[in-house]
Structure 1
Amino acid sequence: MTSEKLERSLINFQKAMDRFTEVIQEPESSIVMDATIQRFEFTYELMWKTLKIFLEDIHGIRTVSPRQVFKEAYSLSIVEQEEIFLEMIKSRNLLSHTYNEEQASDIYKKCPSYVSAMQNVYDQISAGR
């Protein structure tokens, strides 16, 4: 049985992904790059927290960190490519501690693969609840 908390989290996660996908389709500019990175950050946060709730509600697995969430999800085959999620952790941490234009540009270029991986997580969670 799915909790209300998981349902609300899934709805918010889907909305964030829609916005993230939307900005990725815009022509590249400094404003679009900044918006894409910002949307990556909040979509990433919603993704790992939604996955955390899913692991606890559906599988009875308690986790406390994004890394632990992704490792558990990988072990359950909810996440297919663990590496990209560990890369997302690194990207998110780089962005939250300092703003470096070169790093931001590199992360911006990874965002299409990030949103694709996030969509796969959403699909897995939706199917597994």
Structure 2
Amino acid sequence: MNDIRLKRRFINYKKAFAGLADAVALAEKRELSDLEKQGIIQSFEFAHELAWNVLKDYLEHKGYTNIIGSRDASRTAFKNSLIQDGDA
């Protein structure tokens, strides 16, 4: 695992999460069109994809192997206290 790749992916995740947070804030202020709602869903999916990939990259950097998908990444992150609420 390359440190630069992990850092870049984390930066991209932070940008995606900020965009999602902005969209949710807008949705709290006014009713969104169907197209805007679809955009929020897509933003969530993108942020989620980046989030579990950051976890996977970080855990692989720490020596963990056999992390195949988001479920494996999330469970391993929870077991290592990277995620605090594993039941949510």
Structure 1 unmatched ranges of 5 or more: 85-129
- Tell me how many residue pairs correspond in the alignment: 82
Deviations 1:48-106 (A, max 9, x none): 0011000111x21121111011100000110011233xxxxxxxxxxxxxxxxxxxxxx
* Counterpart pick for 2:58 among 54, 57, 60: 54
Alignment pair present for 1:75 and 2:83? no
Instruction: Provide the C-alpha distance between the structure 2 equivalents of 1:52 and 1:35, rounded to a whole number of angstroms.
Output: 26
Instruction: Provide the C-alpha distance between the structure 2 equivalents of 1:11 and 1:33, rounded to a whole number of angstroms.
Output: 25
Instruction: Provide the C-alpha distance between the structure 2 equivalents of 1:66 and 1:39, rounded to a whole number of angstroms.
Output: 17
Give the TM-score, by structure 2 length.
Answer: 0.86
Structure 2 unmatched ranges of 5 or more: none
Alignment pair present for 1:38 and 2:42? yes
The worse-fitting range, judged by mean Cα deviation, of 19-28 and 69-78 is: 19-28
Alignment pair present for 1:66 and 2:79? no
Question: What residue identity is the alignment partner of 1:60?
Answer: G
Alignment pair present for 1:12 and 2:12? yes
After superposition, the CA RMSD in angstroms is 1.3
Instruction: Provide the C-alpha distance between the structure 2 equivalents of 1:28 and 1:53, rounded to a whole number of angstroms.
Output: 37
Instruction: Provide the C-alpha distance between the structure 2 equivalents of 1:28 and 1:56, rounded to a whole number of angstroms.
Output: 42
Give the structure with the higher percent helix: 1
Instruction: Provide the C-alpha distance between the structure 2 equivalents of 1:18 and 1:78, rounded to a whole number of angstroms.
Output: 20
Identity of aligned residues (%): 28
Give the TM-score, by structure 1 length.
Answer: 0.60
